[in-house]
């Protein structure tokens, strides 16, 4: 009987241990693993998109480095590679911004779902929370607040630790994305449809696209310094417009040259007209060619 009692006691002890292992920290392990995965993936993704251009430039410079000899090539390549990697980790705040924003929002939301992790710990682990309580905590508003708090905290930390890291592009992206989500929700809202005309709801995206393109192209024509340099270069490459024509358009808008008046140097327009196969005088807007009825004409020499 003593043996049986001892076996029962052993089984009960093992059962308690197994129950503790089920309700203890191991039940939270998958959730914590998810947060860690989000942290790592967001950090690696941001690191790749910010470091890849520098690595590509380094690889493209191999041909030039190869002229200095094999030993010097290895030394220079290793030095530049180390500089790129160190700079991408120490001076680049974008990966940390992504990791803290996405991973932080998941972590804050996880703590919101399991407040007892912070408030109530026992000698055997953490108390178990019912599935009903977990489901009741999962709401869009709570997750939105978690994401908003994590984003604000991440921006504050990154700007403090990495003051040279620019986040204006990410801010614009997040703002546009937020407006896009708001527009989609408004499109399916019955209350909005009662007050907003159908044509705006159906073609609002086209209107937004046209307004955005108008603003972008206006800046590219007349105030290119307001656009990001890479974006400005990309538009210039795709437009393939002669720089002299752009200079003339900007000068006309700024009042530096006027049609029919001799203001400033216009020789570049005469040269541009000659390259197009037109008479050089056609590029002189100070003395336009006119027909008998007074209208301007372009005639070959």
What pLDDT, on a 0 to 100 scale, did the predictor assign at position 117?
59
What pLDDT, on a 0 to 100 scale, did the predictor assign at position 121?
45
| 130-186 pLDDT tens trace | 444 444 444 566 666 777 777 788 878 887 888 777 777 777 777 777 787 788 788
Q: What is the pLDDT along the chain (301 residues), one digit of tens a residue?
A: 444 454 555 555 555 444 444 444 444 557 788 888 888 898 889 888 888 888 888 887 776 666 666 667 777 778 888 888 888 888 888 888 888 888 888 887 777 776 665 555 444 444 444 444 444 444 566 666 777 777 788 878 887 888 777 777 777 777 777 787 788 788 888 888 888 888 888 888 888 889 989 999 999 999 999 988 888 999 998 988 888 888 888 888 888 887 767 766 777 888 888 888 888 777 777 776 665 555 555 444 4
Q: What is the DSSP letter of 296?
A: B
C-alpha distances out from residue 143 to 33, 83, 148, 160, Å: 19, 39, 9, 26
| CA–CA distance, 290 with 12 (Å, rounded to integer) | 108
Instruction: Read off the pTM.
Output: 0.49
Contact (Cβ atoms closer than 8 angstroms) between residue 93 and residue 165: yes
| CA–CA distance, 203 with 200 (Å, rounded to integer) | 5
| CA–CA distance, 264 with 91 (Å, rounded to integer) | 47
Q: Where are the domains of the chain?
A: 2-163, 241-283
What pLDDT, on a 0 to 100 scale, did the predictor assign at position 221?
92
Q: N- to C-terminal Cα distance for the chain?
A: 124
| CA–CA distance, 43 with 95 (Å, rounded to integer) | 5
What pLDDT, on a 0 to 100 scale, did the predictor assign at position 218?
94
């Amino acid at each position: 009987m003593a043996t049986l009692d001892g076996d029962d006691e052993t089984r009960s002890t093992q059962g308690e241990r197994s129950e503790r292992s089920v309700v203890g920290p191991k039940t939270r392990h998958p959730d914590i693993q998810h947060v860690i995965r989000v942290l790592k993936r967001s950090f690696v993704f941001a690191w790749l998109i910010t470091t890849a251009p520098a690595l590509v430039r380094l690889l493209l410079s191999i041909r030039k480095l190869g002229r200095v000899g094999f030993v010097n090539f290895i030394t220079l390549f290793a030095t530049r590679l180390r500089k790129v990697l160190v700079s991408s980790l120490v001076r680049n705040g974008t990966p940390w911004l992504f990791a803290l924003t996405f991973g932080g929002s998941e972590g804050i939301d996880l703590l919101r779902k399991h407040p007892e992790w912070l408030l109530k710990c026992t000698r055997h682990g953490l108390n178990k929370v019912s599935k009903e309580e977990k489901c009741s905590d999962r709401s869009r508003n709570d997750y939105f607040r978690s994401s908003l708090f994590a984003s604000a905290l991440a921006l504050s930390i990154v700007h403090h630790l990495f003051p040279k890291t620019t986040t204006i592009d990410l801010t614009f992206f997040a703002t546009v994305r937020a407006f896009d989500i708001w527009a989609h929700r408004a499109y399916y809202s019955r209350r909005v449809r009662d007050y907003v005309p159908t044509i705006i709801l159906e073609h609002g995206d086209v209107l937004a696209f046209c307004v955005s393109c108008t603003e972008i192209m206006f800046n590219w024509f007349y105030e290119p310094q307001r656009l990001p340099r890479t974006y400005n270069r990309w538009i210039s490459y795709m437009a393939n417009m002669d720089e002299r024509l752009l200079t003339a358009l900007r000068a006309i808008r700024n009042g530096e040259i006027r049609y029919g008046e001799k203001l400033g140097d216009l020789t570049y327009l005469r040269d541009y007209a000659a390259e197009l196969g037109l008479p050089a005088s056609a590029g002189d807007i100070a003395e336009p060619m006119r027909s008998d009825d007074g209208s301007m004409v372009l005639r070959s020499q």
